[in-house]
Structure 1
């Protein structure tokens, strides 16, 4: 963690009703699962959301402080999002942190001119509209929290200025992923502007290229243990933390 990554830890031994509650979407494996475990070590009560609650339940066995949302969470389905929010309210009574981690898997060979637009529409539906839908659904609970935080997991692929992974550096590859993640940044900034007069801090985080699929580490992707702290940092920001920002490892990233 960099010197900017100062997490706001809850008070020691809080009463059960005062323990912050977090939801991490798309979290039955990979980065989401690691983020959940690291949030739990900050004393946060964490729920994993996944389309298959059985897989989420299996993933959290032995992970202290992390539980599985007992209903399917498909962020492309309004009814599923609504049920998840009602379930959180009924079982936990609150929601303080939303980590929008669920995303479609990118096609690294796709270009804008060669794209299958049906596949591209699916990526945008998951990455942009799913994140948007989940945030709107969770807002009533977040508004009740004394320290609400929303973290949208983005990507440098959606940046104009990231010289490692950005649009110029990629020569037009992974087009729908880049376009969707650029839109997530725009959504983040727009939400933050609307919510500027509230306690809700909304930020986006690029976790860097992370080994979330087999073979990724051999291609230079870093382990989830190294990428998760930047997400946790944004989820535990102090009240005077940034709003509408895009960060990697706690450092501002242009977009």
Structure 2
């Protein structure tokens, strides 16, 4: 039986590479994109299907879930990849609260909305996997350690970093709730990948960034759940 996967925010960047990697593994992939035309163009190039999916719009998410239900009847892999940075100027003392809300709306509430809409489909899979794309920036251990390279090199953030820390916590709660159903839920950190999210400042390729996501999306029945990983293994909370 061929696995069915949905990757959000997948018309470009890491999401597109994740979709391409899943195709290589023999998975039937649907990419979610806010812009219908961009989604269709990317899907045609990748040889996959696309669905209009704005993670901040509950109606859009419900419609996407309905299309997947009609088309496939189940979902085996959900990759919550869609995310925004909110820019680089996010000092807590000066940040616009509206910016923080906008970033959380995508990076945290978007994952919550999409995951809950797709759970009925995931529950029809014999071995469902959920991978939420996070960042080591969401590690409180790394952020609070003066000797950690991330602490020394990354800007202070009142939006992006807290949104990823909140996503990490939410993911653990999903893992706890769904473990009895055999649904494995994990977090992947792609590393500092060159994408438009960081103004292409990153030092890693999209292929390198996608590798850990693909690994977690294809875990076997004895795989881990509730973990936070990059290429080097577990990331401290």
Into which bin does the TM-score normalised by the smaller protein fall?
Answer: over 0.9
How many correspondences in the alignment?
232
- Can you list the C-alpha shifts for 1:109-160, whole angstroms capped at 9, x where unaligned? 2111111100110101110010011101100000110110000000111112
- Taking the aligned partners of 2:152 and 2:221, their CA distance within structure 1 comes to 35
SS in 1 for 2:111: helix
Aligned to 1:205: 188
Shift of 1:78: 1.2
Q: 1:39 to 1:224 in 2, by over 3 A?
A: same
- Can you list the C-alpha shifts for 1:87-119, whole angstroms capped at 9, x where unaligned? 001112221100000112332221111111001
RMSD: 1.7
Shift of 1:214: 8.8
Unaligned runs of 5+ in 2: 143-147
Task: State the TM-score, normalized to the length of structure 1.
Answer: 0.86
Task: State the TM-score, normalized to the length of structure 2.
Answer: 0.93
Q: Which has the higher helix share?
A: 2
Aligned to 1:60: 43
Indicate yes or no: 2:176 matched with 1:196.
no
Q: Which segments of structure 1 move beyond 2 Å, counting only runs of 4 or more?
A: 161-165, 168-172, 214-217
SS in 1 for 2:192: coil
Contact 2:85 2:197 in 1 (8 A): no
User: In the alignment, which of 156, 164, 175 is matched to residue 149 of structure 2?
Assistant: 164
Unaligned runs of 5+ in 1: 1-17
Aligned to 2:145: none
Q: 1:63 to 1:169 in 2, by over 3 A?
A: same
